[in-house]
A and B are shown apart, each in its own frame.
Chain A
């Protein structure tokens, strides 16, 4: 068995079990960390597919930024897990039905190709030496998908505007520092030098 295949199975196994752990462990911090593990394994599998750009960006964006902030929030919240668990049992039947439906659909779609053998899903030819995945993606993004790329940028801008519009507000009686004012402060505004005669020595 070639090494790539071993690597694939190891990482898939880690990914699937981490995915299961995300929804089954009791501690939400553990859940978040297992999600990070799942991201890592999927990045590794992407590397096997020679999609190095996607793999690295997955780590950079999801692991490095999104999950850090997520963990940040989870750690600061005092989540009481008991009520959450009650919901888990109560909604489990519905969840199972949805899961079975989804799985059935996926299987149907795959079976509609005929079977699971590699004839129906041939291995794509390996990329030529010197092929840069990153460059190819970049070229596509800035030509064929320029409009989509720009629109995605606008969506992110709107997300920023929306987040700020919904949270930035001036409350009454709020205390705020203005660094520009702090820097501009003059000595006279803070310190008053008082001329005092020396007091006569006691007991003379």
Chain B
């Protein structure tokens, strides 16, 4: 080891600063995502949504946070105290940890690791622990039912999701997210959503199911099991679950943007007139725009579709999505072998 302890310390401090630079905006985004949700769904249902606190209700998220933080955390008498407290943390940690490998543009990434995609899969797969433990530790039937439902659902949809990602890595030839984005260069029609259209659709829908969002929100299904796994949680503990859920939604949106919609690349790349301007250059703004678009889709679907029945969710995952993705992985392999999709053209 040639480095001194001092070098290592500086390295760690810089790393921490980078993490803060990602996490703080993320939390703010979550806050305003809830505002966006209420506004968007409000307008879709011919209501105004929150409009009292601040101009156009813009301070509403802060009011909500304040309210949640000031409330008492109720520990149920027969709950397993330690796990009950641990569960929200366990569900939040992977949701944040996954952001380490997300490239915001060609240099803005905390850890540019080779097996980035695998890391993401690993992080999203351990997010389920928070839910299971919350359901079990609450010692409540509703909570337990909710956690069992979400656990089965997440494990099932992870398979379809994993296969969808296999298609992406066949075409890009890399597990590194930056390289995956660079492999999509060339404008709107060169992004992977087109050659991998079935996988793209499956991925987005599985993303909905992974995050337990409507129409796959049977894990919390208010009308059936009250609020599912977090029925016993209140105050700050509940807020943490809430934060994790929305962070996960933003993560899935960002991932969809990176894997299927060219990440930070511009859709106008190489086009006449605009191709040479700022619009034609890849930049973080395109990435954010795409992410917000997919975030909006989450809300749109919530306002549109009624909740799926539980057995149908399982059926859809195993009998429809898994075969489709397996089949399209073969097609993607054919594309790749015969050079029908050229990397980074």
A contacts B directly (C-beta below 8 A): yes
Partner of B122, one of A33, A60, A72: A60
Residues of B with C-beta under 8 A to A64: 121-122, 125-126, 128, 158
> A3 and B8: CB pair below 8 A?
yes
Interface size on B, as a range, is 20 to 34
Complex Cα distance A146/B33, Å? 48
> B126 and A72: CB pair below 8 A?
no
Task: Tell me if B136 is interfacial: C-beta within 8 Å of chain A.
Answer: yes
Complex Cα distance A133/B122, Å? 17
Task: Tell me if B341 is interfacial: C-beta within 8 Å of chain A.
Answer: no
Residues of A with C-beta under 8 A to B65: none
> B132 and A59: CB pair below 8 A?
no
> A69 and B155: CB pair below 8 A?
yes
Partner of A52, one of B1, B115, B121: B115
Complex Cα distance A57/B144, Å? 29
Complex Cα distance A134/B144, Å? 38
Given contacts A36-B129, A179-B312, A179-B315, contact A68 B118 (CB under 8 A): no
Partner of B132, one of A52, A75, A135: A75
Residues of B with C-beta under 8 A to A53: 115, 118
Contact with B along A1-20 (1 / 0, CB 8 A): 01110000000000000000
> A63 and B125: CB pair below 8 A?
yes
> A65 and B155: CB pair below 8 A?
yes
Partner of A71, one of B125, B132, B158: B132
Q: How far is the CB of B265 from chain A (nearest CB, A)?
A: 24
> B119 and A68: CB pair below 8 A?
no
> B118 and A60: CB pair below 8 A?
yes
Task: Tell me if B284 is interfacial: C-beta within 8 Å of chain A.
Answer: no
Complex Cα distance A76/B149, Å? 13
Task: Tell me if B303 is interfacial: C-beta within 8 Å of chain A.
Answer: no
> B115 and A60: CB pair below 8 A?
no
Contact with B along A32-52 (1 / 0, CB 8 A): 010010000000000000001
Residues of A with C-beta under 8 A to B136: 29, 75
Residues of B with C-beta under 8 A to A76: 148
> A60 and B125: CB pair below 8 A?
yes
Partner of A72, one of B114, B151, B312: B151
For the complex, count residues of A whose C-beta is within 8 A of B: 27
Contact with B along A101-127 (1 / 0, CB 8 A): 000000000000000000000000000
Complex Cα distance A2/B83, Å? 34
Complex Cα distance A177/B151, Å? 23
Task: Tell me if B204 is interfacial: C-beta within 8 Å of chain A.
Answer: no
Residues of A with C-beta under 8 A to B119: 56
Task: Tell me if A24 is interfacial: C-beta within 8 Å of chain B.
Answer: no
> B115 and A56: CB pair below 8 A?
yes
Contact with B along A67-111 (1 / 0, CB 8 A): 011011001100000000000000000000000000000000000
> A132 and B155: CB pair below 8 A?
no
Complex Cα distance A69/B125, Å? 12
Complex Cα distance A64/B158, Å? 10
Q: How far is the CB of A150 from chain B (nearest CB, A)?
A: 16
> B114 and A56: CB pair below 8 A?
no
Q: Which residue of A lies closest to B319 (CB)?
A: A179
> B151 and A68: CB pair below 8 A?
yes
Q: Which residue of B lies closest to A4 (CB)?
A: B1
**Which chain B residues (1-55) contact chain A, with CB distance < 8 Å?**
1, 5, 8
Q: Which 10 A-B pairs have the closest CB atoms?
A: A64-B125, A2-B1, A60-B122, A59-B122, A56-B118, A132-B114, A56-B122, A134-B115, A75-B136, A52-B115
